[in-house]
């Protein structure tokens, strides 16, 4: 799922209400911790965001009659733009989004607060399982949860992607990165009160955007498993996927009696909410390789400023002395270059500093995680004039050919990406007892209503990817389809 309105335009300004970003971070984690404790705050936050978005454009047709043509036109337009992109790449154009592998990993980390609550805005509809008009939206939420299968649960997939590349630590991102996630969580926990806005938000989020196709293509080029993104290309399709279900839900839930125009205006409000906060392209545009390396080293300096021996000196100063003031990190990097510890624009193995941090026998083994090492690698191999050193290619042949139409073919053949089989963990006795208890509680429920209420409570955005949440999702899906 991906926001679609202005998100394909590079450098789009981040729109938000004054002070919204700071509140968003607090709300995001509060809703994860105890959503029942802040209902008033979440609702007032949503009201403020709706007001902030009200002046933004919305390209939805004026009536439901025009919705099928609107989807078809959008799909055709995105397809044509993607064909142009592919033609340009074939003719030798550089990647549009990611200058290097570190840039792509920076993006994965930067959008994590949103991806880790994927589908959250639909959570509150689970208790409407007995209302057929809500079924398209509930079905969409269940599919976001992989219907309880770990390797199909979107949050589980993304968490694994972050862990694979050392992109944890997203909790420290700038406040604006949490605005979209906070909106999604607030909508999910107050879906009945904001039902028209949920429908509109879902309608905007489920349309296939150009940036999702380009992102998938370029991640694949860089040897980063694009499965999370290609999965959304397929499940959001306009023919039978979430995009179509979103329109069906709007048609089914539009009131037959009452003020239909007022309802539709609120749908438009929800649609516009997609444009608030950091977007795919704004996160991508925010990357600066030098600045990112400086930030990484500045964070390391808090711990490392007293950990180095005095005999190690650079430009006449001890390493500890350099690290005392994070503001001097750029000068420290320049001094390392001048002293020959780092040789920009050459293979990393030519830099003594790289050999200190990379490799199992490196003196600083474990100090830099996979993401941080990638940033350092790309910075070293990129000369100050922007030229990149020739060296071993990141991609294998299999990685380069792993495209949307070959995903199924690669399964189980030792592909370049990690296997996405069921996540196997040794189940602890405590977890096993919890799952058995859940089975017993469902079996002893007085009826389907009680069982569905019990299961829905364990399928919230903060729980559904856990062992008990996955099991609850499987049981709910089975009862829902019965």
Query: Tens digit of pLDDT for each residue in 308-326?
Result: 656 677 887 888 888 888 8
Helices H / strands E in the chain, number of each? 24, 2
Q: Which of 442, 441, 454, 481 is nearest to 127 (CA)?
A: 454
Residue 466 gets which letter from DSSP?
S
Please state, in angstroms and rounded to a whole number, the distance separating the CA atoms of residues 201 and 207.
11
Average pLDDT over residues 51-73: 91
What contacts 162, CB < 8 A, 6 or more positions away? 108, 109, 112, 168, 170
Confidence of residue 235 (pLDDT cuts 50, 70, 90): confident
Reported as a single tens digit per residue, the pLDDT across 17-49 is 657 788 999 999 999 888 887 889 999 999 999
In contact, 208 and 229? CB cutoff 8 Å: no
Alpha-carbon distance of 471 to 221, in angstroms, equals 36
pLDDT digits (tens, 9 = 90+) for 245-291: 999 999 999 998 889 999 999 999 999 999 999 999 999 999 999 99
SS (H, E, C) 274-293: HHECCCHHHHHHCCCHHHHH
Task: Name the pTM for this structure.
Answer: 0.87
Q: What digits encode the pLDDT tens for the residues 168-194? A: 899 999 999 999 999 999 999 999 999
User: CATH assignment of 20-285, given 1.20.120, 3.30.70, 1.20.910, 1.10.10?
Assistant: 1.20.910
pLDDT at 385: 75
473 has a pLDDT exceeding 90: yes
In this predicted structure, the answer to whether residue 11 has a pLDDT above a threshold of 90 is no
Q: What is the pLDDT of residues 406-426, one digit of tens each?
A: 433 343 333 444 343 333 444
pLDDT at res. 91: 97
| Region of poorest pLDDT, from 198-207, 355-364, 419-428 | 419-428
pLDDT at 411: 37
pLDDT over 90 for what percent of the chain? 67
CA distances from residue 115 to 120, 401, 454 in whole angstroms, order as listed:
10, 26, 26
Distance in Å from the first CA to the final CA of the chain: 27
CA–CA gap between residue 50 and residue 32 (Å, rounded): 22
Question: Which residue has 């009160």 as its token pair?
Answer: 193
Specify the 3-state DSSP secondary structure of 14: coil
Neighbours of 180 (CB within 10 A): 27
Closest CA to 126 of 188, 75, 78, 172: 188
Do 105 and 294 form a contact (C-beta atoms < 8 A)? no
d(CA 435, CA 441): 10
Give the per-residue pLDDT at 236.
59
In whole angstroms, give the CA distance from residue 268 to residue 283: 25
Mean residue pLDDT of the chain comes to 86
Output the CA torsion sign for 347, 349, 353, 354.
positive
Residue 357: strand, helix, or coil: helix
Q: Which residue has the tokens 């006449």?
A: 316
Report pLDDT for 18.
Answer: 58
Kindly state the percentage of the chain with pLDDT values over 70: 84
Q: Give the residue-averaged pLDDT of 51-66.
A: 91
Distance CA 458, CA 438 (A): 10
Kindly report, as residue ranges, where domains of CATH 1.20.910 are found in the chain: 20-285
* Contact predicate 40/32, CB 8 Å: no
The least confident of 108-117, 308-317, 466-475 is 308-317
Query: Per 3-state DSSP, what percentage of the chain is helix, strand, and coil (rounded to 5)?
Result: 65, 0, 35
Cα distances from 384 to residues 98, 236, 291, 423, in angstroms, run 18, 42, 13, 43
How far is 207 from 145, CA to CA, in rounded Å?
A: 19
Confidence of residue 399 (pLDDT cuts 50, 70, 90): very low
C-alpha 138/C-alpha 55 separation (Å) is 30
Tell me the C-alpha to C-alpha distance, in Å, between residue 181 and each of 27, 203, 316, 467. 9, 17, 48, 23
φ, ψ at 317 (rounded to 5°): -120, 150
Provide CB contacts within 8 A for 190, sequence distance 6+: 39, 42, 43, 46, 124
Residue 403 has pLDDT above 50, yes or no: no
- CA separation for the pair 436, 429 (Å, rounded): 10
Spatial separation of the C-alpha atoms in residues 112 and 118, rounded to whole Å: 10
What average pLDDT does this structure show over 394-407?
Answer: 41
Classify 98 in phi/psi space as left (phi over 0), alpha (psi -120 to 50) or beta.
Answer: beta
Q: Which range is most confident: 52-56, 205-209, 270-274? A: 270-274
Residues 6+ apart with CB under 8 A from 384: 344, 345
Q: Are 166 and 102 in contact (CB under 8 A)?
A: no
């Amino acid at each position: 799922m991906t926001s679609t309105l202005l998100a394909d335009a590079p450098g789009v300004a981040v729109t938000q209400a004054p002070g919204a970003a700071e509140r968003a971070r607090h709300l995001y984690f509060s809703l994860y911790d105890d959503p029942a404790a802040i209902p008033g705050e979440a609702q007032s936050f949503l009201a403020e965001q709706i007001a902030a978005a009200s002046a933004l454009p919305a390209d939805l047709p004026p009536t439901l009659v025009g919705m099928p043509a609107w989807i078809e036109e959008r799909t055709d337009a995105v397809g044509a733009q993607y064909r142009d992109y592919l033609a340009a790449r074939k003719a030798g154009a550089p990647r549009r989004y990611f200058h290097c592998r570190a840039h792509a990993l920076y993006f994965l980390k930067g959008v994590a607060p949103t991806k880790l609550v994927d589908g959250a805005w639909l959570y509150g509809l689970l208790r409407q399982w007995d209302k057929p008009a809500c079924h398209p939206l509930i079905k969409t939420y269940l599919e976001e949860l992989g219907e309880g299968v770990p390797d199909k649960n979107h949050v589980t997939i993304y968490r694994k992607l972050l862990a694979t590349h050392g992109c944890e630590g997203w909790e420290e991102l700038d406040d604006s990165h949490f605005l979209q996630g906070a909106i999604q969580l607030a909508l999910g926990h107050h879906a009945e009160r904001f039902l028209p806005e949920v429908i509109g938000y879902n309608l905007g989020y489920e349309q296939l955007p150009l940036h999702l196709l380009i992102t998938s293509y370029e991640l694949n080029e860089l040897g980063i498993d694009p499965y999370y993104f290609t999965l959304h290309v397929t499940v959001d399709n306009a023919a039978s996927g979430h995009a179509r279900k979103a329109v069906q839900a709007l048609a089914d839930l539009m009131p037959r009696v009452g003020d239909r125009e007022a309802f539709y205006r609120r749908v438009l409000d929800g649609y516009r909410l997609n444009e608030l906060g950091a977007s795919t392209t704004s996160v991508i545009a925010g990357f600066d390789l030098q600045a990112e390396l400086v930030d990484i080293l500045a964070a390391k300096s808090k711990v490392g400023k007293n950990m180095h021996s005095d005999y190690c000196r650079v430009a006449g100063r001890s390493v500890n002395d350099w690290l005392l003031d994070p503001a001097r990190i750029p000068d420290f990097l320049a001094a390392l270059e001048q002293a020959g510890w780092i040789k920009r624009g050459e293979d990393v193995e030519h830099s003594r500093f790289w050999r200190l941090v990379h490799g199992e026998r490196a003196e600083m083994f474990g100090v830099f995680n996979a993401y941080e090492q990638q940033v350092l690698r790309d910075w070293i191999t990129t000369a100050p004039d922007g030229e990149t050193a020739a060296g071993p290619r990141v991609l294998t042949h299999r990685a380069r050919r792993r495209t949307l139409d070959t995903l199924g073919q690669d399964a189980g053949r030792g592909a370049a990406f990690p296997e996405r089989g069921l996540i196997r963990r040794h189940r602890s006795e405590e977890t096993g007892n919890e799952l058995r208890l859940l089975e017993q509680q469902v079996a002893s429920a007085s009826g389907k209503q009680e069982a569905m209420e019990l299961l829905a409570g364990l399928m919230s955005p903060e729980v559904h990817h856990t062992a008990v949440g996955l099991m609850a999702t499987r049981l709910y899906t089975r009862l829902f389809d019965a």
